[in-house]
Copies of this chain bind each other. A is one copy, B any other.
Amino acid sequence: MSTIERIHAAATVLDGVARRTPMLTSPFLDEIAGRRVLVKAECLQHTGSFKLRGAWFALSQLPEADRARGVIAFSSGNHAQGVAFAAREAGVPAVIVMPEDAPRLKIANTRALGAEVVLYDRETEDRDEIGARLAEERGLSLIKPFDNRDVIAGQGTTGLEIAAQATDLGVSRADVLVCCGGGGLTGGIAVALAETDLTARPVEPEGFDDVARSLAAGRIERNDRLTGSICDAIITPAPGELTFPLMARHCGAPLQVSDAECLSAIGHAFQRLKIVAEPGGAAALAAALHRGDQITGDAVICVVTGGNVDKEIFLKSLA
């Protein structure tokens, strides 16, 4: 099955399960950006992020016997909640491996959704290794956060909705800015939009631009470090083996944003759109508002996702 076929299959499975999140606008944001800003408010998805889409579709594609034994996922938080939510709804046991410095709210939410949480040290331990070991010991199916065809397809359904909603709002040609960690969402959206005049562009935190460097080099490049930004949700070691080729083929030029610009975007999303976004999930809006010189066209579309913001960070955005 091709990636686009898989995305359409995912859309069928997710119909009535994932929310068709709204595309929001505000004349105040348009004024700041100097062009129309369309915001795909994926923070209003179940569990607060698009991760539910990929998790649910991947879970649905497992053989029944594998589902009965359970699933495992490793995640800085949003994928964890997506898998936990989907597993609970499907009656499947879930083990989630999370960095011990993940926002407490995300850890608590994942546990409250019924998953078993295993913590690890992001600096000294390898989450892939931990995940693989636990999976083998218990016969669990590993649901990777981005480098999994079904997860990519699930996230890609966001792109199908974006294309339809943009058309409804009279926008047929525009950049689609996507907060980018490992590239599951960005790659999936890029494929979903490949036959349109909408162009997916990855947005990363400054200093954690592994995707931009990989796209420039034509091969996978890694981040030097994995901490030091408030955008924890989109900091990953490197783009995936599956996601990188999709981004290389279908994405436009990447952008980078600062922590301060993400805080600003959180504040504007709060005040003007009445939605709550976490720093990494606000990166695309930050680029739309503050990096307009790198964007062309009368309109820009950006995905806002990840509403699991720590209160301390949120308060800073209002300061």
Contacts and interface: CB of A to CB of B under 8 A. Distances in A.
A22 interface: yes
Q: How large is the interface on A (under 10, 10 to 19, 20 to 34, 35 or more residues)?
A: 20 to 34
A164 to B, nearest CB: 14
Interface stretch (A125-133, A141-149, A150-158, A307-315): A307-315
Interface in A19-72: 19, 21-22, 24-25, 27-28, 41, 43-44, 46, 48
Contacts of A21: 22
A276 interface: yes
A310 B62 CA distance: 48
Contacts of A109: 28
Contact of A44 (B22, B28, B315, B318): B22
Contact of A112 (B19, B28, B48, B112): B28
A274 B24 CA distance: 14
A155 to B, nearest CB: 18
A43 B276 CA distance: 12
B307 A318 contact: no
Contacts of A25: 46
Nearest to A281: B274
Nearest to A306: B274
Nearest to A27: B113
A270 interface: yes
A89 to B, nearest CB: 10
A197 to B, nearest CB: 22
A200 to B, nearest CB: 23
Contacts of A315: 315, 318
A295 interface: no
A174 interface: no
Contacts of A275: 44, 274-276
Contacts of A270: 276
A21 B46 CA distance: 15
Contacts of A274: 43-44, 48, 275-277, 307
12 contacts: A16-B168, A22-B44, A24-B44, A27-B85, A41-B44, A43-B274, A270-B276, A274-B276, A274-B277, A275-B276, A314-B318, A315-B315
